Amino acid sequence: MARGLPQNVRDNLEKCRSAAIAGVEVYNRPGPRFRTAHYIVLIMIAWTALFHAIFYHRSRRPWYRTRTSGSGRGIRYQRIDGEPKHWDLAECLKQFFGDRHPPERKNLEFLIGLRNKIEHRHLPEFDAPLYGECQAALLNLEQLLADRFGAKYVLAEQLAVSLQFSQLIPEEKKRAARSLASASANSVREYVEKFRGSLPAAVLNSMRYSFNVYLVPKVVNRESAADASVTFLRPDEADDEEVERLEKLNVLIKEKHIPIANLDLFRPQQVVDEVQLRVSHRFTMADHTDAWHHFSARPVAGAGRPERTRSEYCVYNKVHGDYLYTRPWIEMLVREMGTAEGYRNVTGREAKNV
C-alpha cells in the first residue's frame, strides 16, 4: 500500500482488495456448489471496506451515532465490545450516493437483498443466471478504487479471466433453472424477479448493473495484437466503425435465453388482465400491442427471426409459434403506462376511465 495515506485508510484498502480477490477465487474455483453465495458475502465485505476507506480519507467517521438527549455533551457513537459500530453497506450507500440512484448503486442494493435472503435459507444453484450482477459488482469496485486512490490499487494484475468449459455451460443453466423452479427456491426467485422488474430499462441494461459478455475467438493478424489472448473493449472507448462491427457480431452470436426473473411466463391476455387490475384507466389488448411495438419487445408478425425478442420481457414459444411475456414486462407496463401521460406517450391516445 502507498505511503501518505492514514493508517485506517490503508487498512481498509488492504481489507477491500483481499476480500475481493478471495471472492473471485471462490467463484472461479472448479467444483464448489453455491459459489454465488460465497462470492456475495466476500464482495460485500470488500465494498464495505472500500467505502470506509473513502470516508476515513474524507476525515469522516463511518460510525453509527447514538441518540442524544440534547445535553450538549458532543457526539456519541454506538459501540460493540468497546469498539465503534461502523456503518454497514446499506448505510454506506446512503451516505455515499445520497439521493442519486445510478446502476452501480442498484447493483449493490440487489446483492444486499440477495445476501439477506440466503443468510436464512437454503440457496438454490443459480450461479450462471446471476453472473452478470456478480461481475458488475467486481468491475465497479475496481473502477471506484482507481478513481479514488489511483490505478495502482486496481486488481487486474492479480486476477485473470477464468477458463471456461463452454460445452458444459448449457447443462449448468438447465440445472439452475430446475433448481429455481423448485418450491424451496420461491422466496429467492420472487425477490430476484421483483427487483429486476422494478428497474427502469436504462438501469437493467446498464453494464454497471449487470455485466454480460460473449467470448469471441480473437484472430491475430498483426504483430501488435499478439501480446494478449483476451482484450476488453469498452464501448465508450471504441470508434463508430468498431461499435457497429461488434453490434453485428453480437446479433450473430447472441443466445436467446430466459433469465431467472422470467421463469414465470404469461400469455398476452393474462398480461392485459393483470395490468388492468393495477392501473386506473382502461388497458386493452390493443394497448398491449402498441406497448410491445413501442418498446421493441418482440418482432412483428411474419418476421424471419421470431426468436429475436428482448428476452427480459418476451420469449418466443417455438412449439406453439407464439409469444409469452415475463413478470418484468408486466411491472414495466404498470410503471410506464400507469399514468395518463405515460399511456399517451406509448399509445398516442388519451387514457379512458374504466
Cα distance from N-terminal residue to C-terminal residue, the chain: 65
Q: Which amino acid is at 120?
A: H
Give the per-residue pLDDT at 53. Answer: 96
Asked if 101 and 123 touch (Cβ cutoff 8 Å), the reply is no
Count other Cβ atoms within 10 Å, centred on residue 248: 9
Asked if 272 and 288 touch (Cβ cutoff 8 Å), the reply is yes
Cell 468497546 belongs to which residue? Answer: 82
Give the per-residue pLDDT at 46. Answer: 96
Residue 141, all three cell numbers: 469496485
CB burial readout 39-78, b (16+ within 10 A) else e: bbbbbbbbbbbbbbbbbbbeeebbbeeeeeeeeeeeeeee
Q: Which amino acid is at 130?
A: L
Q: Which residues contact 37 (CB under 8 A, 6 or more apart)?
A: 118, 123
User: In angstroms, what is the C-alpha Rg of the chain?
Assistant: 23
Q: Report if pTM > 0.75.
A: no
pLDDT tens for the chain, 354 residues: list them: 445 899 999 999 999 999 999 999 888 887 656 788 889 999 999 999 999 999 999 999 999 988 654 555 667 888 888 889 999 999 999 999 999 999 999 999 999 998 888 765 555 556 667 888 998 999 999 999 999 998 888 776 666 555 544 444 444 444 544 454 455 566 777 778 778 878 877 787 788 888 866 555 555 555 444 455 555 565 555 566 765 665 555 544 444 444 444 446 899 999 999 999 999 999 999 999 999 999 999 999 888 888 888 878 888 888 788 899 988 899 999 999 999 999 999 999 999 998
Give the per-residue pLDDT at 137. Answer: 93
Give the per-residue pLDDT at 168. Answer: 41
How many helices (DSSP H) and strands (DSSP E) are in the chain? Answer: 13, 5
The vertex-191 CA angle with 189 and 194, nearest 5°, equals 105
Query: Strand pairing partners for 323?
Result: 316
Give the per-residue pLDDT at 237. Answer: 57
